[in-house]
Structure 1
Amino acid sequence: MKFRNHKMPPAELQLAPMLDVVFQLLIFFLVSFEFQRSEYDMKVSVPSAQEGADPKRALGEIIVNVRATGEVTVEGQTMTQVQLKEKLSAIAALHKNQPIRLRGDADATYQTIVEVIDTCQKSGIWNISFATQRKSEN
């Protein structure tokens, strides 16, 4: 039995499938960035603190924004306390220990913040954190 020594030609690099994957990844990251950014209400200026917790978001965390005027927004929608309770109750029924990040404006009244916390607790959500920003070093 005689074996022949055949050399295989080098494989060519296929660029079309690689470019498809790169563009799909690019689109995915752009779209997911816009969804994450829309949850933060730019009309809310959170209070500053020298110390604070890690700003990383918990998995599945819902952001509740409280504007200086007392408006409450979730996912870009302005809600009343009743609408907020309905939404959070439905979420709490599906997910135990649902995290909530409360972004209250520094000029919002304390009463409004307490009402939102009360609504969260009535909905069955107890895992509430507060957003702050670090004081600027001047």
Structure 2
Amino acid sequence: MAVKYEEEEKPEVQLTSMMDCIFLMLIFFLVSSQLKKIEKEIPLELPESNVARDVKATPDLVTVSVDSKGDLYVNSKPVGPAGLRSALQAAVAEKPDRRIRIAGDIFAPFRSIVQVLDTCQQERLTVVGIHTADGLKK
């Protein structure tokens, strides 16, 4: 009687679990890279300061930009002088102690900057900073 031997299967590398891990990491990095709020560039020429210190932009930072014509933007979205208060109220609705950064063009009308400061004061927003360019030549 002849004994039949079954043909042994060739060993294979199981890549399924490794591919699952790679795809999960890919999805994680795609999602986490989108969490950073991308601020559209508004063409501003910021005034220079020799004593300014660097402050890191945080996700809860609200940026009010004033361009050279006096147009107002809150987080890169255009708002008029009438819409500034409601835009600031909406921006700080969840977190009342948010930081406000005013980025005013060097040629912006000063009345627009004062208007932003007055609106911040009326809304009891006390942590307000002015964004400037670094005037120190390194």
TM range (shorter): 0.7 to 0.9
Normalising by structure 1, what TM-score? Answer: 0.75
Flag structure 2 segments of 5+ consecutive residues without an equivalent. 1-13
Amino acid at match of 2:34: V
Amino acid at match of 2:118: D
| 1:81 aligned counterpart, secondary structure | coil
- Post-superposition Cα deviations, 1:107-136, rounded to whole Å, max 9, x if no partner, equal 112111011111111122121011112126
**1:17 alignment partner in structure 2:** 20
1:37 maps to which of 36, 39, 48 = 39
Q: How many residues align?
A: 124
Q: Name whichever of 119-128 and 90-99 sits farther off.
A: 90-99
Contact 2:42 2:76 in 1 (8 A): no
**2:109 alignment partner in structure 1:** 109
Normalising by structure 2, what TM-score? Answer: 0.75
Kindly name which structure, 1 or 2, has the bigger radius of gyration based on alpha carbons.
2
Contact 1:92 1:123 in 2 (8 A): no
CA distance in 1, matches of 2:49, 2:108: 16
| 2:42 aligned counterpart, secondary structure | coil
Shift of 1:55: 2.5
Please list every run of at least 4 consecutive aligned residues from structure 1 whose deviation after the TM superposition is greater than 6 angstroms: none
2:127 maps to 1:127: yes
**2:86 alignment partner in structure 1:** 86
- Post-superposition Cα deviations, 1:63-103, rounded to whole Å, max 9, x if no partner, equal 11110110001133211222110122344454232210110
Greater fraction of residues in helix: 1
Flag structure 1 segments of 5+ consecutive residues without an equivalent. 1-11
CA distance in 2, matches of 1:68, 1:84: 17
Contact 1:69 1:108 in 2 (8 A): yes
